[in-house]
Amino acid sequence: MPKTDHDRVIALAGLMQAVDLVRSIALRGQIDADDFETCMTSLLQIDASSSADVYGGVARLRSGLRLLEQQLHNPRDKELTRYVVILLSLERTLARRKDLLNVISTGVGEITRNLAHFPVTHSNTVARFAELYLQTISTLSRRIMVSGAQIHLNNPENANRIRALLLAGIRATILWRQSGGARLSLLLRRNVLLRETRLLLAELD
């Protein structure tokens, strides 16, 4: 995987898009269908040739890029930052757990083989992703506490979507590391990442 600021920005945009959808479900019980499909599809792209290919092209990350631009320019959204920081931390722990990585890899393979019957955003597929999250990420010592309205959080379909999106967030953090990203680079290279984010957004307008 290339290690450029372009690739790192794509990974961060994918992460932002996933966690913002988590928040949208938790607070309002709603999601943008296209953004959700982009995140779910990213879970199947294990051997993509580029960061953009993981998400089906940069244009599929418009929402994530806009959020990333806001956060890099003026990081006021503490809740979004909290989700991002926890997922980055969980990915570092997961990277040392080959057993859990194997479970995820095997599960994704099984889901891929069933796509002819259940498309990537079908409730059955989303439930399979959610189960993978429960079997792996949920077993790690640090847990993600999702804040929202109980009426939405207690809905089983919403719960599955949230878990599947958190798994997509982990996918994005893996891509971030593969492209040379690190916590320090978020601080030391913030202006560089902001410039690259704005270049990508300008290309989409």
* CATH code: domain of residue 143: 1.10.3890.10
Query: Three-state SS for 80?
Result: helix
Average pLDDT over residues 131-150: 92
In 29-77, which ranges are continuous DSSP H helix? 33-42, 51-54, 62-73
- Predicted model pTM: 0.95
Paired tokens of 120: 């990537």
Residue with tokens 């597929």: 125
CA dist., res. 91 & res. 89, Å (int): 5
CB 170 within 8 A of CB 94: yes
197 burial class (0-12, 13-18, 19+ CB within 10 angstroms)? Answer: buried
Q: At what angle do helices 190-204 and 5-28 cross, to 10 degrees?
A: 80
> How many domains are there within the chain?
1
Per-residue pLDDT, 90: 94
Hey, what's the torsion of the CAs at 160, 182, 96, 54, to 10 degrees? 50
Residue with tokens 């999601």: 31
Res 155 pLDDT > 90:
yes
CA dist., res. 67 & res. 65, Å (int): 5
Q: State pLDDT tens for residues 161-201.
A: 999 999 999 999 999 999 988 877 777 788 999 999 999 99
Q: State pLDDT tens for residues 6-41.
A: 999 999 999 999 999 999 999 999 999 999 999 999
- Find the domain containing 196 and state its range: 5-204
CB 39 within 8 A of CB 168: yes
Confidence class for position 123, pLDDT limits 50, 70, 90? very high
Per-residue pLDDT, 20: 96
Residue type, 180: G
Per-residue pLDDT, 74: 86
Confidence class for position 1, pLDDT limits 50, 70, 90? low
Hey, what's the torsion of the CAs at 164, 197, 181, 162, to 10 degrees? -10
